[in-house]
Structure 1
């Protein structure tokens, strides 16, 4: 007779507790019956684990389910006061902060202008404090999306300070929690991986156009950042007849294209693209040139990585520019077929990616705290 596997009851209880915590984080508040269905655990096991989690203030009653047949069933959910994560998007002009709980639900949100470099950490901390005062729980982890090169260890390549990471150090000290820094285009690609595009494809490249142009690569379902974090710095790829070292696209290029087309160089690209949509001929000429440059970058990426799909995000996802890209790509179809898709999240893609990463980090932190015996905590 084959003997059943045996092990310490504490280990089994910990595994069952993690399964229940993950189900509550994934689905929100559930009844005991729903937890049994989600986890495959028996009613007795679910009851025992919930009793343990309640003793550690990890779960709390979340009302009753009156829609089910039979006796009224009490729902339980993760305690909303366990802790929160902060997801922050810092672009060239603004700061966008959201606080979220372990289920990924947004609990508070704030916007503010981006100050000088020396005031970045203070400005972010101030916005988070305004959010936290209404959310009513401590911030345990933070994920920050920033433009620029971010190394694998989370340091910004051109940051100041003796440790090479003055911004992250200052922000972590102000918030009193671990801070992860990540490139905004990388987070945009991770957002797409978690969305409709990711359900269909495990490999694609993303091109995000705003004040500059950046790329990110998903290979075999994972982000490819390169050894030093420079993977995706495509805005200075040689593109004749541009001089070596000249940017391909971005706000300075938009101003130059506007001057050539006889339009106002102070206007941002989306305004020109809206004018093109309304039929302005000079604006359509600008869109066609921007599209040609995007297609050449996409072709270079395809020749090296062969991602199969190029996702256009930010201003590159504007309907006029997306249509112009499709038309420009058609000219090269015989030599190099290219496939394009618009971002599912638009301008919010970097923040969506930061939210997903912050939620994952928060769950890992909370579950470790909850499942670590009191006697083992330091």
Structure 2
């Protein structure tokens, strides 16, 4: 059955908007070529989209000659505004952006783990409200929040875990305070999305992503989609039993699992075994002047130190026998966890993301690939991630933009 006229118009409008999103501002003639629509159909859709406020004239094309120049149309970036949050155990960072994903403002705030849930949530929400206001944004359409935990696929809520209490309460309070669409997503999944859209996996619709940062995690990007699993726990590779840890993980903790081989603390210890210089861990500065808590290493600093060690080892090269041996040992550890993923899924490509993956670059990726080739027969290309720790926030912004564009483009504004 052929589509009704209204359905056909909606399909054509969405097609044109998708091209404007991907290609940037276009003339009506360019839209005609890209969409394959007739000139009258393109003229009609341009008029409809202008009336809805989704596109506007942003310039003219071509050298001036007899007759008018071709008008150039672009998506109205201020038609909706977005926010993305990267929530960590030690605080939150965020960006406020327009409908095209262009950053308008950004901010970060440390939040002490000892701070009670209610004031911690209030600080995070107030930071977002203040940042949006300073950017001149009066209303947010979509807000995506990346968190280090399992998202229940049925409810979309963060499952109970050992994370700070304010992590579980944040999304609900945001929904109460803001007339916006709130989306909660696992941080590793967001990082994988960012690497697929604008990082190391732009040419892949199937790959495995390994996050190497403060801890370890994995994301499974199969046939163009993130796979979350029945309970939202697909990719919890930190709990994977592997040789060399001296123990086994448990349901209540990943000590003894892959985390104990490839987490940032394990990397620092491994570097010491090979005689590499291991920087001192800086002490935590309490986020609350009145918070009574002992000075302990700042969690974020652990991954900064680990990634610095890896970067220095790579820079030292094969001439430094200690650095060379350290990189081989680290590659072997990473390959143990990667082998379990690749032997089951056969993704053909593995991206080493996070701060450590970025610091190791192609050198570490090549060593992991060599080790992996000796552990299973499935050919797997190993690539270094291109976005490092910024991938989570970038992926959250892409998610917020996708949700806003789905709502606006499919409803015609």
Query: What is the TM-score with the length of structure 2 in the denominator?
Result: 0.76
- Report runs of 4+ in structure 1 exceeding 6 Å deviation: 159-162
- Secondary structure at the aligned position of 1:227 is classed as coil
Task: Report deviation, 1:125.
Answer: 4.7
Higher deviation after alignment, 318-327 or 349-358: 318-327
Equivalent residue in structure 1 for 2:248, among 219, 232, 244? 244
Contact 1:150–1:229 under 8 Å retained in 2: yes
Distance in 1, Cα, partners of 2:203 & 2:236: 26
1:25/1:290 CA distance change after superposition, 3 Å:
same
| Per-residue Cα deviation, 1:33-73 (whole angstroms, up to 9, x for no partner) | 22322333333333333333333333333132244765212
Contact 1:142–1:177 under 8 Å retained in 2: yes
Give unmatched runs, 5+ long, in structure 2.
250-255, 282-301
Query: What is the TM-score with the length of structure 1 in the denominator?
Result: 0.82
Aligned equivalent of 1:375: none
Equivalent residue in structure 2 for 1:21, among 17, 23, 27? 17
Equivalent residue in structure 1 for 2:49, among 24, 35, 53? 53
Contact 1:288–1:325 under 8 Å retained in 2: no
Equivalent residue in structure 1 for 2:335, among 295, 306, 312? 295
Task: Report deviation, 1:278.
Answer: 4.9
Aligned equivalent of 1:151: 152
| Per-residue Cα deviation, 1:105-159 (whole angstroms, up to 9, x for no partner) | 4141313123146324642552354245325463101111222222224221126
1:138/1:43 CA distance change after superposition, 3 Å:
farther
Equivalent residue in structure 2 for 1:81, among 36, 57, 78? 78
Distance in 1, Cα, partners of 2:59 & 2:50: 15
1:201/1:55 CA distance change after superposition, 3 Å:
closer
1:364 maps to 2:365: no
Aligned equivalent of 1:101: 98
Contact 1:146–1:182 under 8 Å retained in 2: yes
Distance in 1, Cα, partners of 2:214 & 2:374: 32
Aligned equivalent of 1:333: 373
1:275/1:67 CA distance change after superposition, 3 Å:
same
Contact 1:83–1:137 under 8 Å retained in 2: no
1:275 maps to 2:293: no
Counterparts of residues 29-44 of structure 1 (less than 5 Å): 29-44=25-40
| Per-residue Cα deviation, 1:165-191 (whole angstroms, up to 9, x for no partner) | 522111222332121111111112222
Distance in 1, Cα, partners of 2:199 & 2:64: 32
Let me know the Cα RMSD of the aligned residues.
3.2
Aligned equivalent of 1:111: 107
Aligned equivalent of 2:395: 353
1:312 maps to 2:352: yes
Distance in 2, Cα, partners of 1:123 & 1:59: 33
Distance in 2, Cα, partners of 1:65 & 1:256: 60
- Secondary structure at the aligned position of 1:139 is classed as coil
Give unmatched runs, 5+ long, in structure 1.
372-378
